Structure 1
Amino acid sequence: KGVWSEYCTTKALTVASAPSNRTEHACRIPSSKVVTKLVLEFVRTRRLTRTRVVAKDILALLSENGHISVDMSNAKDVSAALRASQAFLAKQGYMRGAQKGGAYGLTKELVLKRDNYVRFIDAALKESPSRTIVYIDESYIHHHYSRHNDSLYHPDDKVANPPKAKHKGRRLCFVAGIMSDGEENSRLLGLEIFQGGKCQPKDYHGMFTHAFFVDWFGDLLEELEKLQKYGVIIAMDNAKYHQGKPFGTPTGSMKKADMLAACATYGVEVDERSTRPVVWAALKDHIDRTVKSEVESMAMERGHLVAWTPPYHSDLQPIEMVWSDVKGKVGRQYTVTTSFEDVRVRLDAAFTALPSKTIYNCIGHTERKVAAMSLYLETLDEADEELGQCSSDDEGSVDNVSEASSDDDE
């Protein structure tokens, strides 16, 4: 009857999907990017304002935006639409109840660092004119690095068995910075490539030392000077060799007598009878709070500023996407006959051919994300203030009621 009714109405027949679990069943609510994003932003906004949100609210939202047609005068149709909304939410992974855990699973200290960084960068970008930001980082590529995940193969071909992939080899380490200056003038700064030694640590960061980084950072500042860039914010992660203190700063390996002398120099009050670990704890706390890292001092002498990107947030460092682009171009050319010298030639060529627009888009993507996160934090603050005001008003009402009751008793 349904088929005949459809034909009488439309004068056409629709080919039904074969019953199986390999095809997506027809749904009243489309799982399109537009609908998915609309629901996500709606739920996020409601949660920010501490407003309860359930499937009925999602159904009303989709109905208002024309993504589902519901006959509100028909109770059965409304119930069916509500079930469709519940099924859609379950398919998208939504859950009910209080969300467990914090954002990114970070400690309060790391969340504070992230929020401070986001607010600082967003404020700098909103200045008129906006502050120039240089993002710097290090990476590496090894001899046998390949990017063949999209390579073709036939599942029935049992003859063509490629050699086992190699995931180790000599490394080419590199360090650079990127700066946004429009689609045509965004550029790579201070690129330096060097070969790793024979005793390479597993973590490539071990190939970089504080002395090397300070020398390279000085060259970067000279390059900014030639480009006539002043008041630049230089964003980098908190790697140990980035945060090294100036030469002569007290260290934990000093003798207790030297630590006590340093405490006297810095004006740190400590009992001479205290043990060496206690003396060092007091001295280290003072140094961490008052002594700038060497690169921070170098930047401040030129009128620049260093901003430390928060730990575990590589998504806030746009140069990571530049590394991925460059290494991908090298890795896609890899074959079993590729020599280490070939890798160096291809790496140089990839950096030379790196388009300004790619750098500009990578930085723009990250800075838009920073702006969205900053807006999210502002909305959270406003919601907390409103909640606090409501609590204060409620307490005032209770006090007034108590006073009125006391007056009545009298």
Structure 2
Amino acid sequence: MSGQSEKDSTISPKRKNPNGKYVLSRQKIIIVNLHKDALSKNPDINYTDLYDNMSKATGIGYRTIKDTINEYRKTSTVKSPNKKRVKTSLFDKTDDLDRNGLHTSKDPTLPNFKRTTLYNIIKKLDFVFTKRKRCSVLTERNDLINWRRNYLYDIRKYRGEGKSIYYLDETWLNVGDCVDRVWVDTTIQSKQDAFNKGLTTGPKNLTGKGQRLIVLHIGSDMGFLEGGLLCFVSKKNSADYHDEMNGDTFKDWFVSILPRLHPNSIVVMDNAPYNSVQTEKYPTSNSKKADILEWLNSKGITFDRPLLKAQLLTKVQELKPRTKSYVIDNLAKYAGHTVLRLPPYHCEFNPIELAWAMVKGYVKQENTMYKIDDVRQLLNSAIERVTAENWKIFIKHVIDEEDKVWKVDDIMDEIIDEMEPCILTITGDTDYSSE
């Protein structure tokens, strides 16, 4: 009996809750019940000791136990954690500059991708793998090559004609943006020591969370356009700042800046969804059959026999124009201007990217208060510091990049033409208006 009693009195080893693992509502209820039971037995117990004992007994972290008890005190209940997390792929984490580096050169600053990862990223960039008799070559799809070549031809032509060319783009500023490194006086021993010497210990390292500003602007070789700034506080917790903008907001801003442009100007922009809203929405394979029939009937198309959905979609394709019609392009056309769209994956063709780098560098350098209103003021000051001379330098850099890509395309065209084709693998169509 004594042996059995000794065995029963032995506490089983607890299993520690792993860091980062969710504590479910049923576990929280256990925490609350343990807390109530401990207080009923010893009302005068120190809360720090209580939470520490509960942590040791359950294997759940001290902070989690404290937060659970505080949650119960305020709401009289406990909730399960929000398990929904936005999982981003490595492709989404790869910025435009790195993607462009994969397009144009063996950039030594590119991340060190694994072979499979690099293959998947290149595939998403719409390269195709072309096998030849005795060698293989990685090329882009013909539609992307055509888009880029036509853009470079048009932008050169417009410059030769002396037309005013404006470049627009959107970016963001985080309230916690600051320089990564600062000089530190190692002779300061404590906060009190710093206070006695009239110094400051500086702000704590920020997590990167918090409010941010969504910024949209337009500029040319004359500098940022006067009155062209759109700036508002982000309301979404999204990894992609493009999610903050929508077609209506962009349209209202675009209409307001059109009268400020020089007559018969060229407006260069990318293919983000908010500036690529089409004038008419056409049925797709995701559309209901009834909706497809209704759309065809609105075009005066009727049928004397039942048709399959695939047959109806074929008729839709016949009626769709060869080129897409965008709301923004038509607004510019009515105002006497022309929209020129950047080819996919070529942000280096937009000089405003360099202007944004200059603006953000200034904000990071001067940001010491980490408040949204102060960041907004720093943004305005930073934009004023980007002069027309700066813009001319940025545009000159872009022209150099355009010339390099033009020459690379010529060289690749000659190389591929000299190689006898064997097998060609082609990817499916891509809608670049979603970029």
- Which residue is equivalent to 1:148? 180
Q: Distance in 2 between matches of 1:155 and 1:282?
A: 75
1:113 alignment partner AA? W
- Which residue is equivalent to 2:169? 137
Deviations 1:162-204 (A, max 9, x none): 7333212111111111112xxxx3333511111112x332211
Q: Distance in 1 between matches of 2:337 and 2:169?
A: 17
CA contact (8 A) 1:268 1:282 kept: no
Q: Distance in 1 between matches of 2:303 and 2:416?
A: 41
- Which residue is equivalent to 2:341? 308
- Which residue is equivalent to 1:172? 213
1:241 alignment partner AA? Y
CA contact (8 A) 2:362 2:382 kept: yes
Task: Give the alignment of 1:10-409 within 5 angstroms.
Answer: 101-102=137-138, 106-125=140-159, 127=160, 129-149=161-181, 151-152=182-183, 163-180=204-221, 185-188=222-225, 190-197=228-235, 199-224=236-261, 228-230=262-264, 232-246=265-279, 249-250=281-282, 255-266=288-299, 273-276=306-309, 279-280=312-313, 283=316, 286-287=319-320, 289-335=322-368, 337-378=369-410
Q: Rate the CA distance shift 1:234–1:161 in 2: closer, same or farther, 3 A.
A: closer
Residue-pair matches, total? 276
CA contact (8 A) 1:322 1:359 kept: yes
Q: Distance in 1 between matches of 2:330 and 2:157?
A: 23
Q: Rate the CA distance shift 1:214–1:179 in 2: closer, same or farther, 3 A.
A: same
Q: Rate the CA distance shift 1:374–1:291 in 2: closer, same or farther, 3 A.
A: closer
CA RMSD of aligned residues (A): 3.7
Determine helix, strand or coil for the equivalent of 1:372: helix
Provide the TM-score with structure 1 as the length reference: 0.57
CA contact (8 A) 1:135 1:179 kept: yes
CA contact (8 A) 1:119 1:374 kept: no
Deviation at 1:142? Answer: 1.0
Q: Distance in 2 between matches of 1:166 and 1:285?
A: 53
Deviations 1:291-311 (A, max 9, x none): 511001111112322121122
Q: Distance in 1 between matches of 2:381 and 2:177?
A: 16
Deviation at 1:287? Answer: 4.0
2:395 alignment partner AA? I
Q: Distance in 2 between matches of 1:292 and 1:272?
A: 32
- Ranges in structure 2 where 5+ consecutive residues have no aligned partner: 1-104, 106-133, 191-200, 421-435
Q: Rate the CA distance shift 1:161–1:116 in 2: closer, same or farther, 3 A.
A: same
Determine helix, strand or coil for the equivalent of 1:217: helix
Q: Rate the CA distance shift 1:372–1:206 in 2: closer, same or farther, 3 A.
A: same
Q: Distance in 1 between matches of 2:299 and 2:335?
A: 26
Determine helix, strand or coil for the equivalent of 2:232: strand
- Ranges in structure 1 where 5+ consecutive residues have no aligned partner: 1-43, 45-97, 392-410
Determine helix, strand or coil for the equivalent of 2:229: strand
Q: Distance in 2 between matches of 1:179 and 1:123?
A: 17
Q: Distance in 2 between matches of 1:153 and 1:221?
A: 49
Deviations 1:16-56 (A, max 9, x none): xxxxxxxxxxxxxxxxxxxxxxxxxxxx9xxxxxxxxxxxx
Q: Rate the CA distance shift 1:114–1:131 in 2: closer, same or farther, 3 A.
A: same
1:201 alignment partner AA? S
Provide the TM-score with structure 2 as the length reference: 0.54
Determine helix, strand or coil for the equivalent of 1:234: strand
CA contact (8 A) 2:217 2:224 kept: no
1:222 alignment partner AA? P
Q: Rate the CA distance shift 1:251–1:196 in 2: closer, same or farther, 3 A.
A: farther
Determine helix, strand or coil for the equivalent of 2:345: coil
